[in-house]
Structures are given as C-alpha cells and as structure tokens.
Chain A
Amino acid sequence: MPRRPRRHQRLKSWPITFSPFGRALARMGSVSKPKRHSESIENHTPSSSNGFVKHPLDEKPEGSESSDGEFDGVVQADFAFFDPKPNDFHGVKTLLQTYLDVEEWDLSGFVDLILEQTTVGTVVKVEDDEDEGIFALATALNLSRYREQKCIIQLKDLFLAKASQEKGVADQLRVLLGEQAHNVGLLVSQRVVNLPPQLLPPLYDSLFNEVSWATEDEPTEELRNSFRFKHYVMLSKIYKHKNPEQKRKRSDDSEEAIVYVKPEDEIFHKLSSWSFCFPLRTQQPAPHEMKNYRSMGLIMAVEADKIPTFRQELGSLINES
C-alpha cells in the first residue's frame, strides 16, 4: 500500500519541463494556481522523469504548516505526474493487483507493458517521496499492437468469457477485440481510494493529450496509427444495489441504483456505446452504508469522439463537488 503523503511545504516555484504534458500547461495560460483552501489539498505540479526544470514563475511560498504533534486531519501533499519508469514496477503492480479480480494471469507482464510505453501513460507520485509510492496510474494500450503478449491474450479471453452471458454485447466486444483491435485502446486507470478528486481532470487531460501528441510525435507511421483510437474499452468496479425494484417505491433517492467507485466512470457509462456488468468473485465485507450493494465489474466501450464531452463533464463534475 503506498505511503500516505507526508506534510511538507509547498514548492516555491512552478517548474515547467519539456515533457508534452509540461507543454500543455505552458500553453494553458489559465493554469489553476494551487490554492490554499480549507482542505489544504494541493494541486499537481508537473515534472518529468528526465529532471529538466525551469523556474519562470514565482509563487508566494506557503510558510505555515499544521502545528507539530497534532494531527488535525489535514495533510499537505504535492502530487507530481511522471512518465512510467521501470522503477515503478512494484507500485504499479500493487495498484493493478485486483484489476482482474482473483484470476491468475500474467500481471507482471502487463505491468511491464505499461511501463515500457513511455509516450502514453502517466503515474502520479508525491514530490520528493523517497519511497516512490505510486498513487495513481492512467494509460491506454492499443489492443492490436500488443496482441501477441500473453497478458493481453488472457485479458481478451477473460473479457469475452464474462460477456458470454450478454448476447448482444458479446458480438460487439468480439469485433472490438478482434478485427477492429487496431483502433481500440484499453484504458487502464487505477488509483488509491482516497486520491483527491481535483487531480482527475489533469490526469485525464494529460492522458488524452499524450494520445493525440503520440499520433504526431511517434517515430514510425505504424506507431502513429496505433494511437489513432476510435474506441476505448475499459474495466471498472461498481456497486449495484441488490434490490433495484425497491428503489422505485421510495421517493427519496438517498440510495442510488449504482454507486461508482471512480466518479468518472459515471460519465463514461453515460457516454458509452455499450456496457455490461458481471459479478465479482471476491465479495469484500462492506461498510455499513454499502450493505445493500454488491460489487460488480463493469466493462464498457466509449467512442473516441465522445472524449471531449467527457473531459468537459469531468471538469464540471469535479468543480461542483
């Protein structure tokens, strides 16, 4: 389990680097300056693994910290986005441990695949954390480019096995995983449960921006084409209410039919071309509020054209919460 972010002072300046993500922020004039609001969760600072740092902007240094010896529930953290590195193996593997429930598959191979693809993929760590704990991961893998890899073969077989119950969807899934695989990206996004939601818009922005830059920057024509995704397929976890009919009797909707573990999944689900759920084999003991729900896996496909809508809606969802 990655360590909790330690309290420390915010960085004095705003390093901007030569990574594509850094370029995006340089272009975006209205980059939100990290604000100190009462929850004191700081925003991201971009930096890249090759260590280039410039200091064009000066920020007022934040000098105050919570009083020593007293933990009043507020933790300061500076999160930074990095390209995946081979060193991140153990952290990323921990995050992906439950990706395919309890199925035995080539998880290490899958992690290696993600870490090798440095052009598209982001890991979120805390600045200056010696432990190098990974807090979040987002990447998109072209299903055709990696179709020979054992882990991808196992993954495809598993998805198709889970879909076999749902007649209509199974065929669409088979097409996406088979003939159309060169246009399909597997979107993998995992994080620790208590990651501040303010990090989500920049995280997804960086991912989709990297995808579009890869279509221009990759050295070979084949690689450039491999990032021209038309569809994204993703696997997530949700909680479904055990008795959906009961809900209609109650006028108050204090109990939703579906609870999404990751908030952006609600938007993806709404925009998806198709989706289906399947029961998960491990049923973890649920906290009291969740006793009426059971955890299910959700596989859905989203068209790449819908992504700008997604980014917009994610921004407004996070801002209003």
Chain B
Amino acid sequence: MAMRQTPLTCSGHTRPVVDLAFSGITPYGYFLISACKDGKPMLRQGDTGDWIGTFLGHKGAVWGATLNKEATKAATAAADFSAKVWDAVTGDEVLTLAHKHIVKCVNFTQDSNCLLTGGNDKVLRIYDLSKPEAEPQEISGHTSAIKKALWCNDDQQILSAAEDKTIRLWDRNTGEAVKTLSFEASVSSMEYIPDGEILVITYGRTIAFYKAHTLDPIKTIDAPASIHSASLHPDKDFFVAGGDDFKLYKYDYSTKEEMESYKGHFGPVHCVRFSPDGELYASGSEDGTLRLWQTAVGKTYGLWKCVLPEELSSENSDALYCPAAEIKA
C-alpha cells in the first residue's frame, strides 16, 4: 500500500539554512550540522533531527559547515571573515582562522588533520590543524569568489567551484590546476562521492554527474526548476534535488526519470544531502527549516513508524502521531 511522505521539520534556526552536512556513521549514530544566516550553526542527531547543540561564536552569517567522519570536530565558514573549528562533543570553539574576506566553505581531510577553506577572496587555503599558527598553504587561480571546495582522490586533490563559472581540479602538493571545466552558469552546488569517484554538480536547472578524477561527464538531467543542490544515494540508484520551486525531486539515477516530487518547504531549497546510510535525506531552505525525508516511504526508521491499517484504530496507536495535514513544528 503506497504511503504519503511525512517530512520531519527541524525548527530552531531563525534565518535561511544555506548549507548542511552529515558525519559518517559513529558508535553513537550519525550527526547533521546546519549552516544558517543567523550565525548559529546547529548540531543534530542525524536519524531523528533532535537538536544536540548550537555552536556559538560567529559574528555573522554562517555560509558553510561540515563535520569530520567521527563527528568529533566541526568546522564552519562565515561572513565574519573567519572559519572556526569546534569540538563537536562539547560545542566549544577550538580554533579561529582569520581570513581577509567572507569564507564560504570548509572541508576536513579524512584524517581530520587538515582543513580546506574557500571564500570571497578567491584563494583556497589548506590549514594544518596540528600547527594552526603556521601559515596555510594557498592555492590561487579562481577569478571570482569560491563557493565550494572539497578534498577528493584520497585527499590528494582538491575540487573547487567558483562564481567565475568554473570547476577546477587541483593537485594538493603542487598547487597546480590539473583540469578546468567551464559552464554557462555559476555552479550552485557540488557533492563528492568517494566510493565510485563521482562528482554531483548543479547549475541552472541541470544536475550533472562527472568522474571526479578526470572530470569526464557521465550524464546530465534537467529539472523543472532552477536547482540549488543535489545528492546521490550511496547505492547510486537514485538522487534527490531541490531548488527555486520549494520542492524536493527524486530521480532514478540509471533511467534519469523523475520518480517523485515532494512539497513541504515554504521557500527555495538551498541544500540537500543523503544520510550516510541512505535511509533519509535532509534539506535546508530559505524558510529557516531543515526537513528530513524518508528514502523508503513508510519504512520504520528514526521517528517514522510503519503502521498497518488495523493498528491505526487500536489502543496501541496512542503513542503515534498521525498527521492529517502538513506538520508545522
């Protein structure tokens, strides 16, 4: 019996949510960090959306946020010209890395020892977190503000997307650009899938997939509206995307067909990511909320409970909350 998707709304932010990231799977589950223009990034339990804590310290909009695999460290990029590293267990600020302009993105290496930053001063910086006072390695080349930068190829290379409508692949050691891709429009988002070395990028209404090592194109899909972010499921059977029309779209990766679309947000969707186990995906919106969506609608997982029709009318259903219409948290 087909069921209707019930998104879980995570409230708490007071301004648009512009970035989000999941950690890996840890002995305590997995976690989610959200970057918000209210300057207060939040950490949540990944499978329930329950708030764990707020990282206090930035003095401006937070544009980028990330967690390391173990969810022990967090990093944020903000409009106050700084990137910060946090202890993700205590919520304490560990390091402030001053920049000369708005910082837009941050990314840890797999061993959490180095932090990559990028922002409006067009320079990529690599910080050695064991020697934070040391000058970072700088990589220049982009001619406009950097929007997103990621480690790839076992942290030996860096992928960056900028307002100059290019994506560049850099060698980490030489700092040289290995390859450059040019687009007609500015790239709105980038996701790197290490297992399979796939790069997911969005620009205009297009969701495009590339081979991360070579930047050779794999396939492109055009959506009904301008897309701001997309994410590929870990099993690579489908991907989700969201953008200007407030909806979340789900596509079959092999056939490129649109499978479903979901309404729920009250503003454009800025970011969407699958959880590390692929059971749900999270979206962040201009409406200031994060929403969690089930991959397999109706499955018992996290706060979602699979209920058979007979159970709904029995006494056992007291603990269940059955939404008649839109849930507004």
Q: Do A and B make up one complex?
A: no
- Tell me the A residues contacting B by CB distance below 8 Å: none
- Tell me the B residues contacting A by CB distance below 8 Å: none
